[in-house]
Amino acid sequence: MKNFIDLTEDLDLHKLVQEAQTLKKDPYAHEALGKRKVLGLLFFNPSLRTRLSTQKAAKLLGMEVMVMNFSSEAWAIEYEDGTVMSGLRSEHIREAAQVVSQYCDIVAIRAFASLTDQEKDESEIVLRSFQKYASVPIVNMESATAHPLQAVADAITLKEHWPSHKPKIVLSWAPHPKALPHAVANSFVKMMASQEADFVITHPKGYELDEKITKGVPIVYDQEEALKNADFVYVKNWASYQDYGKILRTDDQWMLTRKKLEATNHAKFMHCLPIRRNVVVSDDVMNHESSLVIKQANNRTYAAQAVLKRILDNE
Ligand code: CP
């Protein structure tokens, strides 16, 4: 693997999940692989899980890690060519990416969607510009449109709890006071394309995700109907995609509760975290033994380790 930007068909997700599960059983098995290699983690947005799990994954492979909060600690970066840089942006991506490449053997980047400029968000300007000008592999730690490391962790978690029958898996929108990006939902949908499951998306009208990503996946606008006989319910908020970045409704009718889960087949509950309790889901869902959220967070380490190992193996 050269870069890890998104879930693509040539990734062989099932093999990657297998590799992650093997690493989980013996995390230090390849601790010499990354010796004298440096992973640079560049954060344009906050993080708990991604930051710590990716660091841990790198350390398990023997790598050194450098972390930088670009939004508060680095010079503001200009991405356009030919700009007269007389404003707030002091450093051009052409130099920044080449300089960082001299210090790091792999660079991982988190840069969320602005949710104000759809075209710019979809061009993945931060991630793609680093990829263009860096001379080392680039890993996506959540970009404007994708969170593939989360999706790999989710695939591992699903596999660990896979029932003996073909499961029904529901991705349900939930309310949230802030406009949130589509990255987690997009990557979950992409990941589900390779799973042998009945997959359904449920959300209020107006919250349709990018059709290029959801193509062929049934959308049920009635959450109660969608939840019937579900084996897994993955909850996530996202802002409107068509009315880009807007919150169309904030009422709690779509909050997931234990009462709603009574219609399911004793469904396991999943969420990428962080989560706003009693807004997105009720306490009784979060605290119930069927919640997989802590296990998902744990699997972030092995997802990242499998990805880093593939990149190191390729070098
Ligand atoms: N799920 C996830 O990416 O968590 P963080 O935003 O805390 O990294």
pLDDT, residue 251, reads: 73
In a domain, 6, yes or no: no
95 with 212, same domain: the answer is: no
Q: How many domains does the chain have?
A: 2
Look up residue 125 and give its two tokens.
Answer: 């300007």
> Which atom of ligand 1 is the closest one to the Cα of 142?
3
Q: Which of 142, 191, 235 to mutate to test the pocket of ligand 1 (most atoms within 8 A of CB)?
A: 142
154 belongs to a structural domain: no
Residue 7 lies in a domain: no
State whether 21 and 143 are in the same domain.
Answer: yes
Residue in 41, 44, 47 to alter for ligand 1 test, most ligand atoms within 8 A of Cβ: 47
Looking at the domain assignment, is residue 92 inside a domain?
yes
The boundaries of the domain holding residue 127 are: 13-147+299-314
d(CA 70, CA 57): 21
For residue 138, what is the DSSP state?
A: E
Q: How open is the CA angle 210-221-284, to the nearest 5 degrees?
A: 105
In this structure, are 170 and 139 located in the same domain? no
Per the domain annotation, does 93 fall within a domain?
yes
One domain for residues 166 and 84? no
* Residue 276 CA, ligand 1 centroid: distance in Å: 13
In DSSP terms, 232 is beta-bridged to: 169, 268
Q: Does 170 reside within a domain? A: yes
Same domain, 142 and 224: no
CA of 184 to the centre of ligand 1 (A): 10
Same domain flag for 125 and 201: no
Ligand 1 atom with minimal separation from the 273 CA: 1
Tell whether 20 and 132 lie within a shared domain. Answer: yes
User: Rounded to two decimals, what is the model's pTM?
Assistant: 0.98
CB 73 within 8 A of CB 45: no
CA dist 134 and 152 (Å) reads 25
pLDDT band at 252 (very low <50, low <70, confident <90, very high): confident
> Could you tell me the distance, in angstroms and rounded to a whole number, from the CA of residue 143 to the centre of ligand 1?
12
Q: From the CA of 83, how far away is ligand 1's center (Å)?
A: 34
Q: In this structure, what CATH number is given to the domain that contains residue 66?
A: 3.40.50.1370
Q: Is 142 near ligand 1, meaning CB less than 6 Å away?
A: yes
pLDDT at 250: 72
Considering the domain architecture, whether residues 230 and 143 belong to the same structural domain is answered as no
Per residue in 188-223, pLDDT (tens digit) is 999 999 999 999 999 999 999 999 999 999 999 999
The whole-angstrom distance between residue 137's C-alpha and the CA centroid of its chain comes to: 18
Do 210 and 96 sit in the same domain of this protein? no
pLDDT at 315 > cutoff 90? no
**Which ligand 1 atom is nearest residue 48's CA?**
7
209 token code pair: 């995700």
In a domain, residue 125? The reply is yes
Same domain as 108, residue 32 = yes
- Both 180 and 280 in a single domain? yes
Range with lowest mean pLDDT among 69-73, 92-96, 158-162: 69-73
Q: 122 and 226: one domain? A: no
